[in-house]
Amino acid sequence: MASESDNVVIFDTPSRDGETWSHHVLRILFSLHYKGIPYSIEGIEYPDIVSTFEPTTLEPKDDPIEPYEIPVLKFQTSTGTPEYRMSTLGIIQALEDMKPEPSLLYTSPRSVEYRSRFGPAFAPILQLVVGHVPNVLSERSAEAFAQKRKNRWGKSVEQWIAEHPTREGLAVADPLIKEFGDWLELTPGPFVNGDQPGYADFTFASFLAFAKAIGRTDVFETVLGMHPAVERLYDAVRLTQLENVRCQGLFEIRE
């Protein structure tokens, strides 16, 4: 007999140790746990992503390099047929439809401002981490990841790392993260929307968890220390995930 968690499946490309590392996947797992939606995870090796989803009803992106990407959400409709979602908005809407409360507050004014105003602030952080992803993947996935990044960037991951030195990247991020911290302090409560967590908070926490999962603890610690409100937000998200066994190791308890 199928369990309740079989009704909602998240497809992930795990590390060679079976752990979730992608910030794209982590923010969805944080959201599922917060909303209390049972789910299961199905692992896919990186080179098998296209062949897994091409035969399904999932609409590919208009992207010849990566027509399909992780995460993908699969769930059972009321008629019992499987439905797939890959876009951020599509996944969030499906989760909100499954369980409206607590809301992920994706369309709140503060959440919209967060995305439009501070999205670029995290690019320098991600650039310092993404080149190291092959270090945690299986050999097959690492090779495929590196090749797709080379197709995307026009350079190897080794060259990418060399062109994105840590000190310079953090120096670029520092004033942007400080501005983000000042903005957080404009409302009471540790979260983007005040006292209630939402997808914006899980997105921010996923960036830091990504750095930690890939082994860039230096980036993780430095960004966390750039502004007190940033650390408060991270710790507040951690408290929403205390029983999330899938992501437990990614949150460092800070006294």
pLDDT (tens digit per residue) in 97-127: 999 999 999 999 999 999 999 988 899 999 9
pLDDT per position as a tens digit, 164-221: 999 999 999 999 999 999 999 999 999 999 999 999 999 999 999 999 999 999 999 9
At 23-48, the pLDDT tens digits run 999 999 999 999 999 999 999 999 99
Burial 69-86 (b: 16+ CB within 10 A, else e): bbbbbbbeeeeeeeebbb
CA distances from 112 to 106, 119, 153, 166 (A): 7, 10, 29, 30
pTM: 0.95
CA distance 130 to 137: 12
Cα–Cα distance list, 148 to 47, 71, 134, 153, 207 (Å): 10, 17, 11, 9, 21
